[in-house]
């Protein structure tokens, strides 16, 4: 995490029910004869104590927003969710219509609330909009130079024609996702794609832009990519120019029941 956070328990609200203590994965909460208390031991600040307290007696300092009440049990229709997952497609045809900033913010908000390993909250985002052509041009320059070398280990690259719009496909926005490790960034990207899909926004994982961002020193400086972090993936988002009529088949799941 980039900020310091502290567990604070208001004894005037605490009714000593022990729910925070029992649900704490780090076992750093106790209940005294006056109130629940944090022991001061190392804690990942996961927020379970805040979320479960029926009295709202627990807060974690250092955040800009307040916890939101969960209504309706926080559930969505499971069949609708599965249909959304099945119907998603990598979009490579966009109308060029702009995506409003508030829609981009909703997509990033879904990433912000995606779980991270050990609650590190180490994911950050670069929204490429105004300078999109500049970033795409720089990445394409790199890929054209590197194409012969890349083709040695990746046959896909051998006969690939990389035109000027190859990476972003004319979409208005690309979101570069960075994190200290691959897992947190990949989880965030998956949730963000589902949010985009629910908003009617098409998404393409631009693997080759991500490759360029990982290997090109110029792009690393332009983005920038700081010490201790890496580009995990890039989501190209825009208004879809096509509408898919059915799901695509997948091989059966390999499941080993024990």
Q: What is the dihedral of CA 108, 112, 113, 119, to 10 degrees?
A: 160
Q: Domain coordinates of the chain in residue numbers?
A: 7-60, 78-238
Q: Which fold has domain 78-238?
A: NADH Oxidase (3.40.109)
- Tell me the pLDDT tens digit for each residue of 35-71: 999 998 999 999 999 999 999 999 999 999 999 999 8
pTM of the model: 0.93
CATH of 7-60, picked from 3.20.20.70, 3.30.70.20, 3.40.50.2300, 3.20.20.140, is: 3.30.70.20
* Confidence band, pLDDT 50/70/90 cuts, at residue 73: confident
7-60 shares its CATH topology with 78-238 = no
Residue 181 has a pLDDT of: 87
């Amino acid at each position: 995490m980039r900020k310091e956070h502290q567990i604070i328990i208001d004894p005037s609200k605490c009714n000593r029910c022990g729910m925070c203590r029992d649900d704490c994965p780090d076992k750093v909460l106790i209940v005294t004869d006056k109130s629940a208390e944090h022991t001061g031991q190392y804690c990942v600040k996961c927020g379970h104590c805040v979320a479960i307290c029926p009295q709202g007696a627990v807060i974690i300092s250092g955040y800009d927003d307040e916890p939101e009440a969960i209504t309706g049990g926080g559930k969505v229709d499971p069949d609708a969710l599965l249909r959304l997952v099945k119907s998603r497609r990598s979009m490579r045809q966009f109308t060029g219509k702009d995506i409003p900033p508030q829609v981009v913010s909703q997509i990033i908000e879904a990433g912000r609330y995606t779980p991270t390993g050990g609650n590190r909250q180490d994911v950050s985002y670069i929204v490429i909009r105004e300078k999109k052509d500049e970033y795409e041009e720089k990445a394409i320059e790199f890929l054209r130079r590197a194409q012969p070398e890349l083709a040695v280990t990746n046959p896909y690259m051998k006969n690939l024609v990389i035109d000027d719009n190859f990476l972003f496909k004319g979409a208005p926005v690309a979101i570069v996702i960075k994190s200290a490790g691959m897992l947190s960034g990949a989880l965030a990207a998956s949730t963000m794609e589902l949010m985009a899909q629910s908003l009617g926004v098409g998404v393409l994982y631009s693997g080759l832009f991500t490759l360029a961002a990982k290997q090109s020193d110029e792009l690393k400086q332009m983005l920038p990519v700081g010490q201790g972090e890496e580009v995990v993936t890039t989501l190209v988002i825009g208004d879809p120019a096509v509408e898919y009529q059915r799901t695509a088949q997948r091989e059966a799941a390999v499941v080993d029941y024990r």
